[in-house]
Amino acid sequence: MSFLDTLLEALSLVTQSGSILALAIGVVIGVICGAIPGMSATMAVALTLPFTFALEPVVGILLLLGVYKGGIFGGSIPAILIKTPGTPASSATILDGHPMAENGQAGKALGMALYASCTADIISNLALILFAGWLASFAMGFGPPEFFTLMVFSLMIIAGISGDQLMKGLVAAVLGLLLATVGLDLVYGTDRFIMGNVNLMGGLNFIVVLIGLFALPEIIAFAIHPSDKHGNVRQLGGEHVTFGEYKRCFRTICRGGVIGAILGSIPGIGAAPSAFLSYSEARRKSPNKANFGKGEIEGVAASEAGNNGVCGSTLIPLLALGIPGDVVTAIIIGAFMVHGIQPGPLLFQDHGSLVYALFMGLILSSVFLLFFGSFSIRIFKYIADVPKSILLPAVLILCVFGSYAINNSLFDVMVMFALGWLGYFLMRLEIPAAPFLIAFILGPLLEDNFRQSMLMSNGNFEILFRGWITWGFWILTAVTLFCLIKSHFATKKTDSQSPPKPEAGNNLKGEALS
């Protein structure tokens, strides 16, 4: 069968009504599930899986992919509107998305999130279609030492996000690292800091920490000082993104998409670190640096591009090597195997038409995402108009429900409240919460990969300098560090010359306090 025949067969597979319907339904389910805090994209995909057993392979897999993509975008809706990320991937979107909503630009933030998501999605899909083989072999070069150096480099994000208040950012990061050590020790299998509590054996759940740290402080602050600036918001809630703004952010979006596509192809990283990396890169390069964290539209664009950029390329290790890069692709592998199809190098030979049908479906899914996304924004943005005295109690209920739903455990709800108070005190001390979160995500990865490297080399540090990938990341780290120090001294100079300005870098200062 010639290549053209394969393509035609693929086209007929994807254009059958079932495939298109599955994709559309998938995106809708994804957006809705993603928008519910505590229902992550992963859970939505896992719950959809059993329904695909009875469907044709193309239809079933497209349904799952639709749910996944929709879910990653859907997570940004509550992140922007109620400061509670629907999925972990959208935690970076809070940083600028929520301040924008507070300024009455909810419609604008959501619109930019959608356009950035769709654009990055297309970039990621193209990476999958054009560079799958190349990126897969790059990803296979990633052992524990390479991971470790990548994590060292990524920790620079903390400096990028804390901005001028590096000390406070570091304090937050150390707190995050500390909390991340709770749970099972990877190498020895012993318990760490669980204080005899079985519920702590698994460590603190990421989403629970996230909800507690971001959503609750707002509610606590409001409960202490109720103030309804409601009329202000309603007038402005309907603003749209202009083409000029999209054009201004286009470079950032493309950069985010590429970062997402590369990180997504490496098994085991996931969308959240990619979103943060894209965000901190955007901040570093942007002329509006000072406005980041206070409602900068470019920040929303960067983080949403970073997390959706992962979606297409996570399929690279799956399709090219048969390796599931994250939980979502592990579920999708199940959908392949139920139909007797084995993803891997032979997939393109044995089931070429299926692969190309999936590619076409993926591109189509970006279009569906744009369509259903803008529809959902039209509905959801009115949440921004709800007065805080009604909205926040409802959010509190969602927070409790969300943290309970993840693990069906009341303990998690208590953890959320404890973290909420911690977040509140951090907010009062003007310590940004984002570095806390990044350290909480990256810390365990850093530690595990370091210890795995040391196991591999019997304790020899040379392994951290093996191959060009490790050297590449060490050099990147050094360059970033150098730039940071340089810019730090540069701002100090201008600060001493100009009259004192109001403190910048209060990423997460709540409205109720200002």
Partner 1 sequence: MTISSPIAKIKKTVFKVVSLVSVSALLAGPVFADYPQRPISLIIPFGTGGPTDISARALARSLTDEVAKPIVIVNQTGGGGAVGSATVANTRGDGYKMLAARTGSQSVSLAMKSNMPYSLADFKFVGIYELNPIVCVTRSESGIESMSQLIDLVKSKPKTVTYSSSGVGALQHLAGVMVLNAFGVENPLEEAIHLPMNGGGGAATAVLNGTATFVCANSSSVAGFINNGQMKPLMVATKDRVEGIDAPTAAELGHPELEKLVGWTGIAGPKSLKNESVEAWTQWLKTTTSEPGFVDTMTRLGSQVVYMGPADAEEFIHAQYTAFRGIVEKLGMQIN
| Site residues, partner 1 (CB under 8 A) | 42-43, 45-47, 49-50, 53, 140-144, 183-191, 198-199, 201-203, 267-268, 321-324, 327-328, 330-331, 334, 337-340, 342-346, 407-409, 448, 452, 455-456, 458
Q: What is the smallest separation between the CB atom of 367 and partner 1, expressed in angstroms?
A: 27
Report the residue number, 288 or 407, with the smaller CB distance to partner 1.
Answer: 407
Query: Are the CB atoms for 146 and 473 separated by under 8 Å?
Result: yes
Helix axes 144-154, 434-457, angle to 10 degrees: 150
Report the residue number, 226 or 345, with the smaller CB distance to partner 1.
Answer: 345
Q: What is the smallest separation between the CB atom of 307 and partner 1, expressed in angstroms?
A: 19
- Token pair, residue 219, equals 């509610």
Report the residue number, 281 or 448, with the smaller CB distance to partner 1.
Answer: 448
Name which of 369, 255, 267 is nearest 303 in CA terms: 255
SS (H, E, C) 158-192: HHHHHCCCHHHHHHHHHHHHHHHCCEECCCCCCEE
CA angle 509, 510, 511 (to 5 degrees): 125
Report the residue number, 21 or 346, with the smaller CB distance to partner 1.
Answer: 346
Q: From CA 315, how far away is CA 295, in angstroms rounded?
A: 33
Q: What is the smallest separation between the CB atom of 375 and partner 1, expressed in angstroms?
A: 28
Q: From CA 18, how far away is CA 63, in angstroms rounded?
A: 10
**Which residue's entry shows tokens 């996570």?**
314
Query: Are the CB atoms for 370 and 114 separated by under 8 Å?
Result: yes
Q: From CA 507, how far away is CA 488, in angstroms rounded?
A: 18
CA angle 20, 315, 50 (to 5 degrees): 60
Q: What is the smallest separation between the CB atom of 330 and partner 1, expressed in angstroms?
A: 5
Q: From CA 263, how far away is CA 382, in angstroms rounded?
A: 35
CA angle 281, 79, 204 (to 5 degrees): 90
Query: Are the CB atoms for 461 and 193 separated by under 8 Å?
Result: no
Report the residue number, 348 or 417, with the smaller CB distance to partner 1.
Answer: 348
Q: What is the smallest separation between the CB atom of 322 and partner 1, expressed in angstroms?
A: 5
Q: What is the smallest separation between the CB atom of 462 and partner 1, expressed in angstroms?
A: 15
SS (H, E, C) 88-155: HHHHHHHHHHHHHHHCCCHHHHHHHHHHHHHHHHHHHHHHHHHHHHHHHHHHHCCCHHHHHHHHHHHC
Report the residue number, 173 or 463, with the smaller CB distance to partner 1.
Answer: 463
The partner residues of 408 in beta bridges, in order of sequence, read none
Q: What is the smallest separation between the CB atom of 407 and partner 1, expressed in angstroms?
A: 5
φ, ψ of residue 192 in degrees (nearest 5): -125, 125
Q: What is the smallest separation between the CB atom of 437 and partner 1, expressed in angstroms?
A: 20
Report the residue number, 282 or 315, with the smaller CB distance to partner 1.
Answer: 315
Query: Are the CB atoms for 195 and 202 separated by under 8 Å?
Result: no
Report the residue number, 100 or 207, with the smaller CB distance to partner 1.
Answer: 207
Report the residue number, 88 or 267, with the smaller CB distance to partner 1.
Answer: 267
Q: What is the smallest separation between the CB atom of 438 and partner 1, expressed in angstroms?
A: 19
Q: What is the smallest separation between the CB atom of 257 and partner 1, expressed in angstroms?
A: 25
Report the residue number, 183 or 238, with the smaller CB distance to partner 1.
Answer: 183
